[in-house]
Chain A
């Protein structure tokens, strides 16, 4: 966490925001990935489906 040094000495707010628990940050990144995969692979809306069509077929996501 070397890049946090620049903000920590400033205010209580920045200290607090830099101190979000690491497990929470890991879970948040994992969840963001899951949401992206849902959008790319699962959303049925026609326009989204048509745009991602060839990728879905190629990657074995259920399509149509």
Chain B
């Protein structure tokens, strides 16, 4: 059964990509998160600044909520989350790749296609949303969560549809799909009402701004590794799953 094969291969692809991602994260992303978290407690009382809307001090969450203990437990949950997320991406990616390979035949399923699919996933799920909502270190003030999640979905959907239109469209009109790539950025991502690190002492603000900049580079590399792995491993999976045209 096709569904069962897709799920099996998505688990394998997702596990390998998620584990590799974890290695990269532990090396350069997680240390920045931990550094930023050290400053979270050092806020000037928020009332002084009259913040409206979302506040990142809420990051410490409703008191008493469960959270993984620092160290091995926290890392363990990050590994699980990474693998789960990568399996989710593989489950979304594999059906789309299978449908597209159906029209192209065996010759089209080669490793360079894996790079292409990986690049597309990187553009859709990392680059496009990050242009409006750069990955944030803990402690940054941001617009309300629901608004950002909606814009994230909007950016991902538009970018995916735009790339698909250009790549698979059959008429000259397909270039109109390029408009979908810029649409989310014309609409604009939700913005916080205050500066990202307001509420902290000046020295901490400067340090957090430096960490935030490093964080964008670190996540760009980590996501690049994730999507390179997902793209190449998914080509392997598509070859193993075989034709869907019968």
Contacts and interface: CB of A to CB of B under 8 A. Distances in A.
Interface residues of B, number: 62
Interface string B64-106: 0111100000100110111011011111111110110000000
Nearest to A57: B33
A56 B34 CA distance: 14
Contact of B137 (A37, A40, A57): A57
Interface stretch (B145-153, B168-176, B177-185): B145-153
Nearest to B133: A62
Interface residues on A, range: 35 or more
Given A26-B95, A36-B84, A51-B81, A57 B136 contact: yes
Contact of A50 (B67, B96, B133, B222): B67
Contacts of B95: 26-27, 29-30
Contacts of B80: 51
B126 A50 contact: no
Contact of A64 (B7, B58, B82, B84): B58
Interface of A: 1, 3-4, 18, 20, 22, 25-30, 32-37, 39-42, 44, 46-47, 49-64
Interface of B: 1-3, 6-7, 10, 21, 25, 29-30, 33, 54, 56, 58-59, 61-62, 65-68, 74, 77-78, 80-82, 84-85, 87-96, 98-99, 125-126, 129-130, 133-138, 142, 145, 148-149, 152, 219, 222-223, 226, 244, 246
